[in-house]
Amino acid sequence: MKTSIVETLAPRLAPLDLDHRLTLTREVIPGRIVFTTSFGIEDQLVTHSIFTQGLEIDVVTIDTGRLFEETIALWERTEARYARRIHAAYPQALPLADYVAEHGVNGFYRSIENRKGCCHIRKVEPLSRLLAGASAWVTGLRADQSQAREGVHLIESDAERRLVKLNPLADYTREAIVAATEEFSVPVNELHEKGFLSIGCAPCTRALEPGESERAGRWWWEEDEKKECGLHVGPDGRLTRGAAPESSQ
């Protein structure tokens, strides 16, 4: 059924703007739909659309315990702006304590395996709890964010989690998103003005140098150009997505 929904919705979503993509998705897909925000500029625009339209889409986040102070402040400002709570999932205490005991509080710097292990505990496992029982997952992914994400479709079948995955900003540019947030006075992270275009955990994110790609500041000590935390990848390390009809690209 999920594959048929993807095939049916893909050509209908393509010509629409963000608001209408979210509205159509809510109308067509039954059950619980979840949007996960990390309070980046893309996610803030999606949150604005969901809240101002009053859509029955759960807006949730993952508090890794290592977020920037600016991100926490934006979380609070966003709740105040829209008069809505954004509920969070947190890392489980025992696995996190075991990880720190074995690798140290900043052990993720020592190897890719250590870093991915930290991401799994702080991000991937909490995400699984947030998505439990959901029929669809909305994200803020854009195809031009990085080499790893260039094949992202508007709507996909996430076989790993057995749900429909909607990326309503997949074909948007960063410039278009910035313009929209300014037009609608959407609150954004103060770190964007300091050279942080992609923002994750504080120890794992730095400001960009001139000429660097948008996500180059994430896990900057790793050489792999296709760096991801694991939220959007399967066991093989590739983004979890199913083939989408050409009309949706």
Distance (Å) of CA 59 to CA 6, 36, 89, 126, 206: 22, 6, 12, 14, 26
Catalytic residues: 229
Record the tokens describing residue 199, joined without a space. 């923002």
Query: Which residues, other chains included, contact 221 with Cβ-Cβ below 8 Å and sequence gap of 6+?
Result: 109
Give me the chain's average pLDDT, please.
90
* Model-wide pTM > 0.75: yes
Task: Give, for all 249 residues of the chain, the pLDDT tens digit.
Answer: 566 899 999 999 999 999 999 999 999 999 999 999 999 999 999 999 999 999 999 999 999 999 999 999 999 999 999 999 999 999 999 999 999 999 999 999 999 999 999 999 999 999 999 999 999 999 999 988 656 667 799 999 998 899 999 999 999 999 999 999 999 999 999 999 999 999 999 999 999 999 888 888 999 899 765 544 545 445 444 545 444 444 333
DSSP at 123: I
Q: Which CATH class is domain 2-190?
A: alpha beta
Q: How many CA atoms lie within 13 A of 41 on its CB side?
A: 24
Say whether 204 counts as a known binding-site residue: yes
The verdict on whether residue 119 carries a ligand-binding annotation is yes
Is 62 annotated to bind ligand? Answer: no
Domain range list for the chain: 2-190
